[in-house]
Amino acid sequence: MIREMAASLLISTGTVSSRGVSDAALYVEAMAGEGRRRLQESYSFGMIGKGVFDELCRIFEDCRTPNWDGYGAEAVSDETYRWAYRFLEALPLGTRAPSVGVEADGHLTFEWYRSRSSLLSVSVSPEGVLYYAALLGSSKRSGTEAFFGEMPADIVSIIHRLFPS
Amino acid sequence: MSGASELKIDIAERFQHLPHAPIVEAVIDVRARAEGSWEEEAVKSQVSAKLPNYSYLDSQRTYETEIKLAPEKPEQVFRDLGCKGVRFRSKDERQICQFNRDGFVFSRLPPYEDWEKLYGEAMRLWQVYSDIARPTQLQRLGLRFINRIELPSGELRYEDYIQPAAEPPRLLQVPFHGFLHLDTLAVPGHPYVINVIRTIQPAPDQPLAVILDIDVFTAVALDLDPRAMAQRLLEMRWLKNKVFFGSITDKALAKFK
């Protein structure tokens, strides 16, 4: 029995394990990470294959010093970049690629755009907090989630709603 | 398919105690951000004062390496991003606790004794963490049991020990060199997810072994209420036991008694 991801994963998605210290725990972590990385490299499933990590890196490089926009914008910090990177890694495999952006307060952003009235924007802070806002036709949704490496279910369900497979 | 009815979790159900359970690590992992300051030396000294039966093991630091590609010569920049947390180990070296900026982890290494001891010690140490870090909310709670089932020398039929076992393709019945099988299970009506990993761990100086890694977790935030935390952990333990006893064969069970 396979239940639809958007309906069944009430909590979150991701492959972050509870953290162990034994040889077996480290072995499992390495094996699972390797398997996931290979899928991430494919164009069909992964954000590496789609070039999103490269885009994130390029934007970070361009905006890591203050006043990168000439209007006094804050620099994108190493912490923000790391959280944004982990955010991309945690997206379910096969997710539509977002466009990457940056805000004047130094937050990195990911946007899934379908039309002017159907879109999702997620902003990543240096503390690893996700601020998201979505337009879904006539309704709006927004929220704040602490991010620990697992993708919040609400964000996944909005992406699925925007781009049903 | 969807629409499964709520799973009934019966925390009163009794499971067999296995004196030779193959548990190589039992983990209780609590993610909760420290609200107070997090200075390595201060945390070390506070934990040392509160836990005389544990000694400092090491500090977990975060590093970053950056390679700048230049026309002449690539430049490598190495940065120490500071202390993520400290680890302490019990005098008998069977228990390790991590006090991290983003949470607390308690690991019990072999021999595993029983749930009451695991839970009791984890909660005692969690209280120490809570006093130091002053988190306001639990963001994630995980209970993970990693089992390592050794295959007797010369016996490579892992399917005699765990079921369902990995199967080669129907049209190519050749032996496995290795496998990694990850199942993610939803728990209808409850805020839990279960990751079950089955894999083979080759080790040069040890018998070949099958790993059965059961990780039950919830990422639904929880207030700092010890009773609510205890209830969640009991439910997660029941789920973990159901997965374990539903994954091993009678032959394996006999080996662990």
B25-60 confidence digits (pLDDT tens):
999 999 988 887 888 899 999 999 999 999 999 988
CB nearest to B180's CB, from A12, A23, A35: A35
Query: In angstroms, how far is the first alpha carbon of chain B from the final one?
Result: 38
Is position B83 within any domain? yes
Examine residue B69 and state whether it is found in any structural domain, yes or no: yes
What number is the average pLDDT over the span B95-100?
94
A44 contacts chain B (CB < 8 A): no
For residue A67, give every residue at least 6 positions away whose Cβ sits within 8 Å of its Cβ, in sequence order, or none.
A73
Residues of B with CB below 8 A from A24's CB? Answer: 24-25, 146, 148, 201, 211, 213
A163's CB contacts (< 8 A; 6+ apart) are A96, A112, A114
Chain B nearest-CA distance from A143, in A, is: 14
**Is B213's CB within 8 Å of A28's CB?**
yes
CA-based nearest residue to A143, from A116, A165, A121 = A121
Tell me, yes or no, whether B80 lies in a domain: yes
Number of H helices, E strands in chain B: 4, 11
Q: How far is CA A153 from the centre of its chain?
A: 12
Give the one of A3, A28, A152 whose C-beta lies nearest to B199's C-beta: A28
pLDDT for A71-109, tens place per residue?
Answer: 999 999 999 999 999 999 888 888 899 999 999 999 999
Q: Kindly state whether residue B12 falls inside one of the protein's structural domains.
A: no
Contact residues, chain A, for B189 at CB < 8 Å:
none
A19 in contact with chain B, both atoms CB, cutoff 8 A: yes
Domain residues for the domain of B160 are: 23-256
Name B251's Cβ contacts closer than 8 Å, sequence gap at least 6: B160, B161
**Range 86-145 of A in CB contact (< 8 A) with B:** none
CA distance A160 to chain B (A): 16
Q: Does pLDDT of A29 surpass 70?
A: yes
Better pLDDT: B72 or B222? B222
Query: What percent of chain B is predicted at pLDDT more than 90?
Result: 62
Query: Which of A12, A19, A27 is facing B105, going by the closest CB pair?
Result: A19
- CB environment B36-50: b (16+ within 10 A), e (fewer): eebeeeebbebbeee
Q: Is B27 on the interface with A (CB under 8 A)?
A: yes
3-state secondary structure of B29: strand
By the CB < 8 Å criterion, does B232 face chain A? no
DSSP secondary-structure letter at B192? Answer: -
* Partner-chain contact B180 A2, CB within 8 Å: no
Q: Are A151 and A159 in contact (CB under 8 A)?
A: no
pLDDT of residue A12: 38
pLDDT of B64: 63
How is residue A36 written in tokens? Answer: 């996931």
pTM of the model: 0.79
- Judge whether B193 lies within some domain: yes
C-alpha–C-alpha distance, residues B255 and B109, integer Å = 20
Q: Is B10 helix (H, G, I), strand (E, B) or coil?
A: coil
- The pLDDT value recorded for residue A26 is 87
Q: Which residues of A touch B191 (CB under 8 A)?
A: 10-11
Q: How many domains does chain B have?
A: 1
Contact between B142 and A17 using a beta-carbon 8 Å cutoff: yes
Do B220 and A11 count as a contact with CB atoms less than 8 A apart? yes
Chain A residues near residue B79 by CB distance under 8 angstroms: 78
Task: Tell me whether residue B13 is in a domain.
Answer: no
Cβ–Cβ < 8 Å for A80, A68: no
**A28 contacts in B (CB within 8 Å)?**
146, 197, 199, 211, 213
For all residues of chain A together, what is the average pLDDT? 84
Residue B6 lies in a domain: no
CA–CA distance, A101 with B177 (Å, rounded to integer):
44
Instruction: Confirm whether B103 is domain-assigned.
Output: yes
pLDDT at residue B3, as a whole number: 57
CB interface of B with A, residues 52-71, below 8 Å = 64
Residue B124 sits in a domain whose CATH number is 3.30.310
Residue entry with tokens 């970049």: A81
**How much is the ipTM here?**
0.73
